[in-house]
Amino acid sequence: MNIAFVLDPLESIHTKKDSSFAMMREAASRGHRIHVLQQEDLCFREGTILASVTEIHLTGRSPDWYERGEARSERLADFDAVLMRKDPPFDMEYFYATHLLEIAEREGAKVYNRPAALRNWNEKLSISRFPQFAPPTLVTKKESDLRDFLERYGDIIVKPLDGMGGAGVFRLGKGDPNLGVILETSTCYGKKTVMAQRFLPEIAEGDKRILVVGGVPAPYCLARIPRQGETRGNLASGGRGEARPLSGRDFEIASVVGKVLVSEGIALAGLDVIGNHLTEINVTSPTCMQEICDQKGFDVAKMMIDLLE
């Protein structure tokens, strides 16, 4: 197969933990050809979607892990698979890219995840589709609503709808002397919508990332355990990753959500589960494949390449 990866710059990829790299490595080991492009390389010209793509060959070395060929213009529809793996933020340029990819899809391109699904499944708001699994949640831009929510639950998390890696996440309790300025900052004085959730003390046991491929949950998750004095378990925020078998509740959540995901064209997703509660559904560029493989020997990247094949 010829596979095209829409990525951030190759120089920014950390090969020891990057899931896109894990998928590239698995695909290359099977003899598939790997091509890369960035979001800005997409182009609509004369009725078709073109992209400036570059074929790369993996060297097996570090840090010079790839050799780059010459860039050339290709129709995305001529590839066997196109993987949209650009990291958030989900800004207007990302939004426009999904529209260009959707045009390519109409021309016959097989895009994973489907561009329309990337637009429709906000990684925070999508838990509203599964209220039976979600913790008490509020989405608003009004400070008064957030204060009422805090008064009711006493200990809450406030986070932006477009963030990743724990950026912009605050834990608030009653009597917090910084409450006003945090709410003003989070909502940009009532101009930006945020999500609040009841704080889940089970975060001390880890924020579990469950990978779902083609609607099927991988048998292991990565519990991201906050460092001492920290609320966020995100690896980017200093959390420690511990691979574990799925619990019965984890499998129940992932199986129910996975059926809906695959029906809407989401081939790869990362569910975030704290305790027994679903807190996020990551569909843009979910990671943690390599940590699970390193600790448990189960390679989720193989599941994904099997699916593409």
Q: Residue 142: give its domain's CATH number.
A: 3.30.1490.20
Contact 57, 66 (CB under 8 A): yes
> Which helix (H) or strand (E) segment is 301 a member of?
helix 300-308
Q: How confident is the model at residue 257 (pLDDT cuts 50, 70, 90)?
A: very high
Query: Of 55, 109, 118, nearest to 86 (Cα)?
Result: 118
- Verify that 24 and 82 share a domain, yes or no: yes
- 87-91, 222-226, 228-232, range with the lowest pLDDT: 228-232
Q: Is 232 a catalytic residue?
A: yes
Q: Is 282 a catalytic residue?
A: yes
Q: How confident is the model at residue 179 (pLDDT cuts 50, 70, 90)?
A: very high
- Which residues have a Cβ under 8 Å from the Cβ of 188 and sit 6 or more positions away? none
Q: Is 244 a catalytic residue?
A: no
- Verify that 246 and 299 share a domain, yes or no: yes
The percent of residues in the chain predicted with pLDDT above 90, rounded, is 91
| Residue ranges making up the domain that contains 224 | 202-304
Mean pLDDT of the 59-68 span: 94
**Domain end (from 70, 87, 118):** 118
pLDDT at residue 230, rounded to an integer: 78
DSSP string over 104-171 = HHHTT--EES-HHHHHH--TTGGGGG-TTTPPSEEEES-HHHHHHHHHHHSEEEEEETT--TTTT-EE
pLDDT at residue 298, rounded to an integer: 98
Instruction: Considering the candidates 86, 114, 208, 209, report the single residue annotated as catalytic.
Output: 209
Residue 298 lies in a domain: yes
Instruction: Considering the candidates 113, 122, 234, 282, report the single residue annotated as catalytic.
Output: 282
Q: Is 122 a catalytic residue?
A: no
Q: Is 280 a catalytic residue?
A: yes
Tokens 């509740």 correspond to 249
> Which helix (H) or strand (E) segment is 181 a member of?
helix 179-187
- Verify that 22 and 49 share a domain, yes or no: yes
- Verify that 174 and 188 share a domain, yes or no: yes
pLDDT at residue 117, rounded to an integer: 97
Instruction: Considering the candidates 86, 224, 234, 299, report the single residue annotated as catalytic.
Output: 224
Residue 266 lies in a domain: yes
- Verify that 193 and 259 share a domain, yes or no: no
User: Helices 300-308 and 289-296: crossing angle, nearest 10°?
Assistant: 120
pLDDT at residue 239, rounded to an integer: 83
Q: How confident is the model at residue 31 (pLDDT cuts 50, 70, 90)?
A: very high
